[in-house]
Amino acid sequence: MALNIQPSPYNPRLKVIPATELKNKTGAVLDWTDKTNTDLVVESRGKPKAVIISYEGYERVQQLREEEARRQKLNEWEKLSEKIRARNPDMTEAKTHSIAQEFRDEALNAVVETRKKKYG
């Protein structure tokens, strides 16, 4: 079964498929995506609406998102440490980090408790 997959005008590494083609040949499209490990842009009326990626690709994206979230949290923690240090110039760096870590841990625990109450 031939698929109407075309090169993407947005990115040469991507391929494009019309939404109607996806609707009519979902199984074949999923097999193609899994086999080729190529991201596939789904277009509706000539505009990109979604992207189909292999599960392996999805796992990589999730890992990158988690790494970015950790980097952002570390950056926030460092900024908090700098604020504490600026307000307490006589405090050692180790003590500053310790206080910042306590604040971070308290905030994380509050989020966990809120989620437990909300989701059980």
List, as one string, the DSSP characters of the chain: -----EE-SS-TT-EEEEHHHHHH-HHHHHHHHHHHT--EEEEETTEEEEEE--HHHHHHHHHHHHHHHHHHHHHHHHHHHHHHHHH-TTS-HHHHHHHHHHHHHHHHHHHHHHHHHHH-
Question: Tens digit of pLDDT for each residue in 56-69?
Answer: 888 999 889 888 88
pTM assigned to the model: 0.59
**Whether residues 47 and 18 fall in one domain:** yes
Write out the residue range of the structural domain in which residue 76 sits: 60-119
**Whether residues 41 and 92 fall in one domain:** no
Residue 1 within a domain? no
Question: What is the pLDDT, as a whole number, of residue 42?
Answer: 94
Question: Tens digit of pLDDT for each residue in 11-70?
Answer: 777 889 999 999 999 999 999 988 888 889 999 998 999 999 988 888 999 889 888 888
Residue 73 within a domain? yes
